Amino acid sequence: MSPSEMRAQTAKELSHVPRGGFAQNMYRMLLQQYLMNSLGSSPEVPGPLAAHAAALRSVHESYPDFEPVVLAA
């Protein structure tokens, strides 16, 4: 997958995660990184569901009660 295809697919997934407060924006940022990783040639994250889970785990380290806003597709 080319870098532009990776960015397009990541942008599509992020379109369901609105910006918000600090924790929500942190979630979006981490999700973007994990999604890009999942689409790379040597992914450490196996796919979109795992990317969401990894981003949430990371945010929970600082904000344990955080619940992300994710809009239905």
In a domain, 32, yes or no: yes
Average the pLDDT over 51-67 and give the result. 98
The structure's pTM equals 0.94
The CA distance from 39 to 47, in Å, is: 7
% of the chain with per-residue pLDDT over 90 = 96
pLDDT at 1: 86
Q: Give how many domains the chain has, as a whole number.
A: 1
Q: Decide which of 20 and 1 is more confident.
A: 20
Is 21 inside any structural domain? yes
**pLDDT tens per residue across span 20-50:** 999 999 999 999 999 999 999 999 999 999 9
Residue 68 covered by a domain: no
Decide if 69 is inside a domain. no
Find all residues with CB under 8 Å of 14, minimum gap 6, and list them. 28, 31, 32, 35
Is residue 34 situated within a structural domain?
A: yes
Host domain of residue 29: 3-62
Give a yes or no: residue 10 inside a domain: yes
Cβ contact 33:10 at 8 Å: no
DSSP 21: S
Query: What are φ and ψ of residue 54, in 5° steps?
Result: -65, -40
pLDDT at residue 73 tops 80: no
Tokens of 25: 């924006």
